[in-house]
């Protein structure tokens, strides 16, 4: 489905420049990428808010020691690899 959007000539020129600089085939592809990025950002923000709320509700904070930080980073890497392999 195609949708037409009216923008100023200045905005069109900027979009064409950015699309070319970033390797998009067209302004349409560039705009679609911007919309997907906006959607992903909204999903991330929602997830982050939930994580912060969960953290506040979990009780007393613990000290972030170098070993705990290492453990958390390794856990994150492991989860990312698992998701990437799906």
Kindly list the domain boundaries of the chain, sorted by start residue: 9-84
pTM of the model: 0.57
- Could you read off the pLDDT of 27-56 as tens digits, one per residue? 999 999 999 999 999 999 999 999 999 988
- Could you read off the pLDDT of 6-25 as tens digits, one per residue? 999 999 999 999 999 999 99
pLDDT at site 60: 83
Residue 1 banded pLDDT, cuts 50, 70, 90: confident
Spatial CB neighbours of 24, under 8 Å, sequence gap ≥ 6: 30, 33
Average pLDDT over residues 65-81: 93
């Amino acid at each position: 489905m195609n949708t037409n959007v009216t923008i100023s000539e200045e905005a069109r020129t900027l979009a064409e420049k950015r699309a070319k600089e970033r390797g998009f085939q067209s302004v349409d592809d560039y705009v679609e990428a911007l919309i997907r990025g906006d959607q992903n950002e909204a999903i991330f923000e929602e997830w982050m808010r939930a994580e912060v709320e969960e953290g506040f509700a979990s009780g007393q904070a613990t000290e972030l020691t170098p070993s705990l930080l290492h453990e958390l980073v390794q856990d994150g890497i492991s989860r990312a690899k698992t998701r990437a392999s799906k």
